[in-house]
Chains A and B, each alone.
Chain A
């Protein structure tokens, strides 16, 4: 492409950050080396145009090295990847972890989202100088949480939780972060060998493939190879497993749809962009049992005929990223990933792809755009991902928890798995319990427990607190009140009760939590995270926030009707699930909890 590049040059540091990722510049953009006739031969063109998917990793490389992305850096990336500078600027400004304005090499992101702000320590108005307010960091069991990014040649990403104001001040001035608690601290049930999905947590070193294999690791993959691809899909279908990301789509049907595509180049994406406020189950699974995800992805790819897989993991999960990177590398070294897995002739490999601060990229089609190097805007459906997905190919997108359920399905048979749980909700579910309970964390249960039983499992309410409400399913979910404690936490019971389990969030609010403040935060969250593509969501989320601000200050002239009108247009006319659910929690607070009435 004919690029017009301004005179801003990349610094040596910026160039080296890019070159470390892409390899040294062969000057293809300048026409390459002279051949024997003295002519320059360009090896750019097609080669460069096939590298756009490296744009986000390249921006990460610069951001991790320098702390921000300058004009010079964008110019250099433009030349290396043959993308116009304006185009790169549009991508860089889409993601909240990047900044195109100069900022310090050390960034302290303080979570001010629902669970953390309920602790009453940090809000956007009370942040220590030099820190950056952040949406949910997915460490809700240890709220309030802080993510520290120290950029440089060896960048460090670290989580501190729980944090107090003095911690933030220390972190901003460069104090190092104390090492994190072990993963098992997030699983109060652990160690418990009888658990189905979380049995290894607290018992097995998540970095050791030998310990994984010694605890029934890779039994399911061997079994899958024995029974064959179509039987794997039959087992998953028979299990009644539905997606655990929130939409509850039947997994077997999705797998069969991908396997049945006439196009044989197919891709698998594990959606690990877990960003729903209050959700941290996928983080715990990836941190505590990373090989299980790698193994289940290999089974999914084998069953559906995918040649390559991506784990799209949110940028705020440093430990999960580290453990997964180790798992992928180790599995590859043991012939459990890559060419000719276990000598079966089946080949499959995994790329771990870091998000950069965008809730919307958990939307299944926005993931495609993000991986392909574009702004993470959702695509229009149809066509559906199983037909036209990543790079235009049939693509299977499954959530982390959905995928790891495949292991017990294959080892126990789908029929056995389907015998667990209830008629309408088969199998095992992981809930993320946070807020005013004694032992917050992730809990594995067989479908069918009630909300009361789950809260009791988490040790009951904290001393001296009484239940005000529970947020089920996160910001896109809904509130229920104390009278709903006997609600059975199944898909069918939630549906009947007019609420949702969503991603498995159970956020317990006691009498001290300011519910109106929570609603305003939910509105602010959706406003910040809207991609901006469609009018109902782009403007509707702002108008919803403004109306709540008026209601919070006591005036209500027509604003309740206004909110209902906004809710309807967002639900009816938004392109994707973000806008369609941006009013749900607020609606439930108005109708069930009678806030403002």
Chain B
């Protein structure tokens, strides 16, 4: 019945699919065309997270991944230590997680830094609207 009503009143057929595919493909295109935007987003992200924890700036990875109906940003930010959790409770909501039990003889996960005190956190952010970031043709005038 819901399907019936959808077809009666909503957008139906393959044009909705086309629109959805177009929206996602353009988001991906615009991100690909704007590496400097991703760099600056990375910097801002690091700056924000560094207020709470010490991160390994050299090993940050930011990727974008197509999921079912959205584009997801996946950031892998290795944390080296927690910044001075002070007594007044200002940043104490970031309670350190218990360290994973090291398995004797087995290697640590290859993407975890050796000196790490915590496993890397995975931050997921959903991006809603496409960014209109485009590269420009050098002016030929």
Q: Do A and B bind each other?
A: no
Taking beta carbons and an 8 Å cutoff, which residues of A are in contact with B?
Answer: none
Taking beta carbons and an 8 Å cutoff, which residues of B are in contact with A?
Answer: none
